[in-house]
Chains A and B, each alone.
Chain A
Amino acid sequence: MIRIEHLVKSFGPLEVLKDISTEVDSGEVVAIIGPSGSGKSTLLRCINLLEIPTAGHIFVDGVDITSPKCDILKVRQNVGMVFQHFNLFPHKTVMENLTYAPMKVRGLSKADASKIAMDLLEKVGLSEKADQYPSRLSGGQKQRVAIARALAMEPDVMLFDEPTSALDPEMVKEVLDVMKALVRTGITMAIVTHEMGFAREVANRVLFLDGGYLVEDAPPDVFFSAPKSDRAQQFLEKVL
Chain B
Amino acid sequence: MNLDFGQIVPSLPFILNGILVTLRFTVLSALFGFTLGTLLSLLKISNIKPLRWFAEFYTSIFRGTPLILQLALVYFATPQLIGYKITPIEAGVFTFSLNSAAYSSETIRAGIMAVDKGQREASMSLGVPYRPMMLDIILPQAFKNILPALVNETIALLKDSALVSTIGVLDLMRRAQVVAGQTFLYFEPLLVVGVIYYVMVMGLTQAANVLERRMRRSD
Binding site for B on A (CB under 8 A): 48, 50, 73-77, 79-81, 83, 85-93, 100-101, 104-105, 133-135, 149-150, 153
Cα-based distance from A149 to B128 in the complex (angstroms): 13
Instruction: Determine if A100 and B218 form an interchain contact, defined as CB atoms under 8 angstroms apart.
Output: no
In the complex, what residues of A have CB within 8 A of residue B122's CB? 81, 83, 87-89
Cα-based distance from A189 to B203 in the complex (angstroms): 55
Cα-based distance from A153 to B127 in the complex (angstroms): 9
In the complex, what residues of B have CB within 8 A of residue A74's CB? 127
In the complex, what residues of A have CB within 8 A of residue B125's CB? 48, 50, 76, 79-81, 83, 150
Given A83-B118, A89-B119, A89-B122, answer yes or no on A133-B217 (Cβ-Cβ < 8 Å): yes
Q: Which of B126, B136, B217 contacts A76 (CB under 8 A)?
A: B126
Binding site for A on B (CB under 8 A): 116, 118-119, 121-129, 132, 136-137, 140-141, 144, 217-219
Instruction: Determine if B116 and A87 form an interchain contact, defined as CB atoms under 8 angstroms apart.
Output: yes
In the complex, what residues of A have CB within 8 A of residue B128's CB? 73, 100-101, 104-105
Cα-based distance from A165 to B104 in the complex (angstroms): 39
In the complex, what residues of A have CB within 8 A of residue B136's CB? 100, 104
In the complex, what residues of A have CB within 8 A of residue B118's CB? 83, 85-87
8 contacts between A and B (CB under 8 A): A48-B125, A83-B121, A87-B118, A92-B218, A100-B136, A134-B218, A149-B126, A153-B127
In the complex, what residues of A have CB within 8 A of residue B121's CB? 50, 81, 83, 87
Instruction: Determine if A105 and B219 form an interchain contact, defined as CB atoms under 8 angstroms apart.
Output: no
In the complex, what residues of B have CB within 8 A of residue A73's CB? 127-129
Instruction: Determine if A77 and B218 form an interchain contact, defined as CB atoms under 8 angstroms apart.
Output: no
In the complex, what residues of B have CB within 8 A of residue A87's CB? 116, 118-119, 121-122
Given A83-B121, A90-B218, answer yes or no on A76-B116 (Cβ-Cβ < 8 Å): no
Cα-based distance from A112 to B219 in the complex (angstroms): 28
Instruction: Determine if B127 and A91 form an interchain contact, defined as CB atoms under 8 angstroms apart.
Output: no
In the complex, what residues of B have CB within 8 A of residue A135's CB? 218-219
Instruction: Determine if A91 and B140 form an interchain contact, defined as CB atoms under 8 angstroms apart.
Output: yes
Cα-based distance from A75 to B123 in the complex (angstroms): 13
Cα-based distance from A90 to B219 in the complex (angstroms): 8
Instruction: Determine if B124 and A50 form an interchain contact, defined as CB atoms under 8 angstroms apart.
Output: yes
In the complex, what residues of A have CB within 8 A of residue B123's CB? 101
Instruction: Determine if A105 and B218 form an interchain contact, defined as CB atoms under 8 angstroms apart.
Output: no
In the complex, what residues of B have CB within 8 A of residue A105's CB? 126-129
Instruction: Determine if B140 and A104 form an interchain contact, defined as CB atoms under 8 angstroms apart.
Output: no
Instruction: Determine if A76 and B124 form an interchain contact, defined as CB atoms under 8 angstroms apart.
Output: yes
Q: Which residue of chain A is the closest to B115 with respect to CB atoms?
A: A90
Instruction: Determine if A89 and B137 form an interchain contact, defined as CB atoms under 8 angstroms apart.
Output: yes
Q: Which residue of chain B is the closest to A93 with respect to CB atoms?
A: B218
In the complex, what residues of A have CB within 8 A of residue B140's CB? 91
Q: Which residue of chain A is the closest to B129 with respect to CB atoms?
A: A73
The residue among B119, B121, B129, B217 with the most chain A CB atoms within 10 A of its own CB is B121
Cα-based distance from A135 to B125 in the complex (angstroms): 21
In the complex, what residues of A have CB within 8 A of residue B116's CB? 85, 87
In the complex, what residues of A have CB within 8 A of residue B119's CB? 87, 89
Q: Which residue of chain B is the closest to A133 with respect to CB atoms?
A: B218
Which 10 pairs show the lowest CB-CB distances between chains A and B?
A: A77-B127, A87-B118, A87-B122, A101-B126, A81-B125, A133-B218, A76-B127, A73-B127, A105-B127, A91-B218
